[in-house]
Amino acid sequence: MADLQVNQGRQAEYDIDENYLNRWSPRSFLEKEVPEEDLMSVLEAARWAPSAMNAQPWRFIIARTQEDREKFHSFIKEGNRIWCEKAPVLVAILSDNKVGYHAFDTGSSWGYLSLQATQKGLITHPMAGFYQDQAREALNIPDDFDIQLVVAIGYQGEKEALPAELQDREQPSNRRPLKESIFEGEYK
């Protein structure tokens, strides 16, 4: 079993909690069940994300059984399915599109989910590579909810368990320098 590597060589320009540096999106999952308590802890953290007017527009559809995961596999694109089929948990993250700022708030909820998963020794990998219409139909999602993404949750496996073409990508990525994301006073 692969252990989550602390810090993984990433360096922050300013002092931040190590959990932010340790979070990344591996693709190699162990076929090992996530305990109920840990999964609910991850979803509980997502519940406490900031929300405009406390609208809490996020909803989660979880797949933990083989039958439910296969339903998810039916709409996940091949490039993601080749690695996510080993993930013990898949989660569709929805947002109530009747609520202003629903995508922004739901994005915050995903961030909380991913950080809590890291703290619990789990990995997450979000996927936008799925067929929206097929997902809506398979999961019976009403029109007033947008499907933001699907997240694989589980324990990290060895990169050698991945197809050869994915093994080189199985490492944390860095970020551009902070100064390239900040503008003072106006966009320049």
Number of other CB atoms surrounding residue 40 within 10 Å:
13
Confidence (pLDDT) at 4: 47
Range with lowest mean pLDDT among 2-6, 52-56, 118-122, 136-140: 2-6
Tell me what the mean pLDDT of segment 32-42 comes to: 98
Question: What's the average model confidence in pLDDT over 72-101?
Answer: 97
**Are the C-beta atoms of residues 133 and 68 closer than 8 Å to each other?**
no
Cβ contact 88:31 at 8 Å: yes
Average pLDDT of the chain to the nearest whole number: 95
- Which of the four pLDDT bands, split at 50, 70 and 90, describes residue 123? very high
Confidence grade of residue 38 (pLDDT, cut at 50, 70, 90): very high
Q: Which CATH architecture has domain 27-165?
A: 3-Layer(aba) Sandwich (3.40)
Q: What is the mean pLDDT of residues 153-163?
A: 97
Hey, which residues does 58 pair with through a beta bridge?
95
Amino acid at 98: K
Domain extents in the chain = 27-165
Contact status, residue 65 vs residue 132, Cβ threshold 8 Å: no
Tell which residue, 37, 12, 47, 61, has the closest CA to residue 122. Answer: 37
Sorted by sequence, the CB contacts under 8 Å of residue 163 that are 6+ apart come out as 82, 83
Do residues 119 and 19 lie in contact, with contact meaning Cβ atoms separated by under 8 Å?
yes
What's residue 9's pLDDT?
A: 81
The sheet carrying 145-154 orders its strands as 58-63, 89-96, 145-154, 123-127
Please give the single-letter amino acid code of residue 80: N
Q: Residue 59: CA atoms inside 13 Å, Cβ hemisphere, count?
A: 13
**Full-model pTM:** 0.94
CA 132 to chain centre: 17
Percentage of residues of the chain with pLDDT beyond 90? 94
